[in-house]
Amino acid sequence: MLLAISLVSLAACGNGDGDTADSSTTAAPDPNESTTTASSAPDTTGGSGGGIPVTIYFTRDGKISPAGRSATSSDTVARDALTALLGGPDDREVGWDLGTAIPEGTSLLGVEIGDGVGTVDLSGEFDATGDSLSVSLRAAQIVFTLTQFPTVDRVALEIEGEPVESVGGADVLAGSPVTRDAFGDVTPVILVESPLPGATIESPITVTGSSATFEGTVRIAITDGDRGTVYDSFFTSTGANGVWGPFEETVEFQATTGSGTVSLWEDDVSSDGPGARRNQVDVPVEIG
């Protein structure tokens, strides 16, 4: 029996139902492995380092939130990404309010990839008792991290080599391997997957991710510390009204070098708060 989580369905986000939607500016590396076991951790200092860029998924405000790491080689890219994830956010990322729901001490025992399924074997710490939100978040972190790779559509979980029937004492049901679609409750309305926090950007920049905003409209602004707002516009995502869909928007801007922020949000169109920002995501960047 393999892991499944009985949660609100998330339509068309990431790799649901095997339909891969590549929402990054650079294609995710292919983990050229059918069976692997844990090894040394990759660079976990943030950014891509000197290796192969990968994305790992932490938490922020009760939702998943991506960050950048690097894998040591294409042969170990999936293993390295998961090992970096289990290492948790660094001090700079903690300052950006990134956290993790994965219990402390959890270690990767192995990962097997075949026929579109990634089977992850984790140590017993991962099964620590938790409420439904924390359990959903910890599972989503694993699933989103592994399904970034084109050979992985679904994820199954093992604890100490045994397929699990539940996780953390929460209402987690056994069944088929899960896709990203299982995690609508912990996926932000606007999920920005590029640029990642701490990235260095320059004009033009392509912003990618997925969203489920009202009528698909997403506002975007870029600010720098010296000049304030240097870009402010909107675009329409393929997702709308609670159904997630990918977006890819290229923008040109003028800004001095230094710290900046890429912000995405939707305008509140209700009578109670017209013009207010809802579901805002701020990505701290360096403007090169």
Residues 163 and 216 occupy one common structural domain: no
Nearest-angstrom CA–CA distance, 33 and 42 = 17
Residue 255 vs residues 204, 220, 227: alpha-carbon distances, Å: 11, 15, 7
Give the pLDDT score at 167. 82
Residues 227 and 123 occupy one common structural domain: no
Residues 194 and 161 occupy one common structural domain: no
Percent of the residues in the chain that have a pLDDT greater than 90, as a whole number = 67
User: Is residue 137 pLDDT above 80, yes or no?
Assistant: yes
Residues 39 and 111 occupy one common structural domain: yes
Instruction: Specify which of 93-102, 125-134, 164-173 reaches the highest per-range mean pLDDT.
Output: 93-102
Mean pLDDT of 172-195: 85
- Comparison of pLDDT for 246 and 176, the residue scoring more: 246
Nearest-angstrom CA–CA distance, 262 and 21 = 22
pTM, two decimal places: 0.83
Looking at every residue in the chain, the average pLDDT score rounds to 83
Band (257; pLDDT cuts 50, 70, 90): confident
Sign of CA dihedral 110, 139, 175, 75: negative
Full domain range(s) for residue 215: 190-287
